[in-house]
Amino acid sequence: MATSAQDLGPVLDKDGVRLTVDDAIATVTLTNPAKRNAQSPALWRALAEAGRVLPGSVRVVVLRAEGQSFSAGLDRQMFTPEGIEGEPTFIDLARSSDGELDASIAGFQDGFTWWRRGDLVSIAAVQGHAIGAGFQLALACDLRVVADDVQFAMRETSLGLVPDLTGTHPLVALVGYGRALEICLTGRFVQAEEAVSTGLANLAVPADQLDAAVSDLASAILAAPRDAVIETKTLLRGAHDRTYDDQRAAERAAQARRLRDLAGLGE
């Protein structure tokens, strides 16, 4: 990148989330290192807003965090009887109607859903602790580059809860049902070597090389034509739900579109 995203004026900077844009690359940064980037409903709303305000020029979104930890999970104040000022407590949520409770959780999930949009490739740069909601936020991205000090853990089950911030689907897809179940039920740490060997992470590097490794990966993605990247991502994301023959048909249809576009015959 010609300009450091951190040096650009933010498009959004609120509630522990900062969004900067440098042409085709956007950077979403978690900005509360003093609390190890603990998460709250306000942060989730800010993440959702970041997705809504992305300019159409953006092709790659980098998710990163300030400080030694990517995100230590839920703000512990959410577990107290008084909760976080201005937000419903867990007891308030539990006492709401089925429809209200479902809508509340769906609203929380909005900050985690846009990272896999078909027109973007998202890369999580993960260092230190990525626990619970932090783990799920990293899983929301298409790709993960981790520092060699990374520690993933899914602690919701040990708290009497379940992972509900969109993390279960990508976790099973990446590591398989058996390992995903074991990770969630034990709440144990998954460190860098295992993360790479099981497919949770694409690459592990020394912590001081994390930003450079992510920048190199983003540049490599940007080197390919945007429409070809979009078609390829769509093919791969849908492969699990298609039969072999249906996937072959999807490949043919996608290639036909690419050939016609390159020949100037697209719609």
Note whether 86 and 18 are same-domain residues: yes
The mean pLDDT of 5-30, rounded to a whole number, is 89
- Position 9 scores a pLDDT of 82
Contact 136, 163 (CB under 8 A): yes
Note whether 35 and 147 are same-domain residues: yes
Note whether 56 and 114 are same-domain residues: yes
Give domain status of residue 77, yes or no: yes
Q: What is the DSSP string of 55-116?
A: -TT--EEEEEESSS-SB--B-GGGGSSS-STTS--HHHHHHS-HHHHHHHHHHHHHHHHGGG
Q: Give the residue numbers spanning the domain of 109.
A: 5-222
In the numeric block, which tokens belong to residue 77?
């104040």
Give domain status of residue 198, yes or no: yes
pLDDT at 116 exceeding the cut of 50: yes
Note whether 98 and 69 are same-domain residues: yes
Sign of the torsion angle spanned by Cα atoms 41, 42, 48, 50: negative
Note whether 123 and 251 are same-domain residues: no
Distance CA 225, CA 230 (A): 9
Number of domains the chain contains = 2
Give domain status of residue 49, yes or no: yes
CATH of the domain at 203: 3.90.226.10
Note whether 91 and 201 are same-domain residues: yes
Note whether 170 and 239 are same-domain residues: no
- Position 267 scores a pLDDT of 66
Give domain status of residue 267, yes or no: no
CA-nearest of 118, 137, 139 to 198 is 139
The mean pLDDT of 256-262, rounded to a whole number, is 95
Q: Between β-strands 12-14 and 17-22, what pairing exists: parallel, antiparallel or unpaired? A: antiparallel
In the numeric block, which tokens belong to residue 85?
């000022």
Note whether 160 and 247 are same-domain residues: no
Distance CA 67, CA 62 (A): 16
Distance CA 257, CA 6 (A): 38
pTM of the model: 0.94
Give domain status of residue 197, yes or no: yes
pLDDT at 79 exceeding the cut of 90: no
Note whether 216 and 231 are same-domain residues: no
Give domain status of residue 151, yes or no: yes
The mean pLDDT of 237-254, rounded to a whole number, is 96
pLDDT at 4 exceeding the cut of 60: no
- Position 180 scores a pLDDT of 98
Note whether 232 and 209 are same-domain residues: no
Give domain status of residue 250, yes or no: yes
Q: What angle do CA 244, 112, 47 make, to 5 degrees?
A: 145
CA-nearest of 19, 60, 209 to 142 is 60
pLDDT in tens, 119-132: 999 999 999 999 99
Note whether 127 and 238 are same-domain residues: no
Tell me which of 206, 222, 238 is where a domain ends: 222
Note whether 216 and 240 are same-domain residues: no
Radius of gyration of the chain (CA): 19
